[in-house]
């Protein structure tokens, strides 16, 4: 497939339109990492006793490539993901993938499958999914002796749509995503399967997403689904942009970090602090909190309109996406698409075949 028709674009979801190729490599004890190979996307033979499948020794990443105004393609802050992939590997007692290998894999896959990303369409991006798992056929309860690294890509539309409707969000009082001393601050697969049940509970309550509270006190707001959270106090240039502090049970998102930087540069007062759920609900009721949104690579910035729990419902502001939310979203998307200056060097250009770039 080399061109996407407008009709097809409307069907673009998140995670099913895989491109034609993937990158693959294997690590084994004596030899370390083998050189990565670019191969056609195809099933990978898996022994039924593969250690990673049984014991969840699996980590992943997520990042995006965007078309630039000159037709080139740039990946957003891939070195951050390379670094986080290494942190996740250390936490799961896995070998680290050298950051240069991670970046080189991205360069080669994006170059090979660049035609998937049509020029002149703002909504579409190439979502890149690195994954690594213990691939040794062995069920001893210990780290694997062999690992496979794969890099996949799929065509992604807006996660919640281009002009996202505000989300209604369920405050989970019973389920936990992460615990102190656990793995909440890394991207390991074992954090995600257990969250699906809370997601279902939210859906049963008419909500699209879940807000996670801390598991020790059930008092501190941490994240929403697989995204970081922000709230806005006040309005206009003096607005305060607040996100829960990184306590070790939150995933330090690249989008979160980017928005903190852009918000401060725009002139907003920026704070990272503990956010208690009681205070947040009171502030939503009083109007002190004027906007709320979630952020992550997949959805970029997703406005939140309503919070709900088993006792009530709280509308944030007028329930519509707020001006600060939309301004921050636009600032970030403009950098990603090469329409705004990039003073921090966040864009990583990919050399495409047949061009001098």
Which spans of this chain sit near ligand PLP (rule: CB under 6 A)? 62, 187, 223, 226-228, 251, 253-256, 296-297
CB-closest chain residue to ligand PLP: 253
Transcribe 330-357 into DSSP letters: HHHHHHHTTSS--TT--EEEEPPTTS--
CB of 223 to ligand PLP, least distance (A): 5
CB of 343 to ligand PLP, least distance (A): 20
CA distance 31 to 145: 11
Give, in order, the Cα–Cα distances in Å from 344 to each of 48, 94, 268, 341, 348.
Answer: 46, 31, 19, 9, 11
Nearer to ligand PLP by Cβ, of 226 and 305: the residue is 226
- Which tokens sit at 207? 């909500």
Nearer to ligand PLP by Cβ, of 146 and 185: the residue is 185
Nearer to ligand PLP by Cβ, of 112 and 128: the residue is 128
Nearer to ligand PLP by Cβ, of 181 and 353: the residue is 181
Transcribe 182-221 into DSSP letters: SSTTS-BGGGTGGGHHHHHHHHHTT-SEEEEEPTTTS-BE
Do residues 227 and 296 lie in contact, with contact meaning Cβ atoms separated by under 8 Å? yes
169: three-class secondary structure by DSSP: strand
Nearer to ligand PLP by Cβ, of 112 and 213: the residue is 213
Which H helix or E strand runs over 104? helix 99-112
């Amino acid at each position: 497939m080399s061109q996407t028709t407008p009709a097809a674009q409307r069907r673009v979801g998140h995670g099913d339109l895989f491109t034609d190729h993937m990158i693959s490599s294997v690590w084994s004890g004596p030899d370390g990492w083998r050189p990565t190979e670019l191969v056609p996307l195809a099933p990978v033979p898996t022994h039924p006793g593969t250690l990673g499948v049984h014991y969840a020794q699996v980590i992943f990443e997520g990042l995006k490539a965007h078309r630039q105004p000159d037709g080139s393609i740039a990946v957003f802050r891939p070195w951050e993901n390379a670094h986080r992939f290494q942190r996740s590997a250390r936490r799961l007692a896995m070998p680290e993938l050298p950051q240069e290998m991670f970046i080189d894999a991205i360069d080669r896959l994006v170059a090979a499958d660049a035609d998937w990303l049509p020029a002149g369409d703002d909504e579409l991006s190439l979502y890149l999914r690195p994954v690594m798992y213990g691939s040794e056929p062995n069920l001893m309860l210990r780290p694997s002796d062999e690992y496979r690294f794969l890099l996949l890509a799929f065509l992604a539309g807006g996660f919640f749509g281009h002009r996202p409707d505000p989300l209604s969000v369920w405050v989970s009082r019973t389920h936990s995503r992460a615990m102190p001393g656990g793995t909440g601050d890394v991207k390991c697969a074992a954090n995600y399967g257990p969250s699906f049940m809370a997601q279902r509970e939210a859906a049963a309550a008419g909500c699209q997403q879940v807000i996670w509270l801390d598991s020790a006190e059930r008092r501190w707001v941490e994240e929403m689904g697989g995204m970081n959270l922000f709230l806005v106090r006040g309005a206009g240039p003096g607005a305060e942009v607040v996100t829960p502090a990184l306590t070790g049970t939150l995933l330090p998102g690249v989008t979160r970090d980017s928005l903190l930087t852009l918000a401060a540069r725009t002139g907003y007062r920026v704070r990272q602090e503990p956010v208690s759920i009681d205070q947040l609900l009171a502030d939503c009721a009083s109007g002190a909190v004027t906007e709320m949104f979630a952020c992550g690579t997949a959805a970029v910035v997703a406005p939140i309109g309503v919070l709900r729990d088993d006792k009530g419902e709280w509308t944030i502001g007028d329930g519509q996406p707020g001006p600060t939310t939309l301004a921050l979203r636009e600032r970030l998307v403009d950098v990603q698409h090469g329409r705004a200056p990039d003073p921090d060097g966040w864009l990583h250009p990919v050399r495409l075949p047949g061009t001098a770039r």
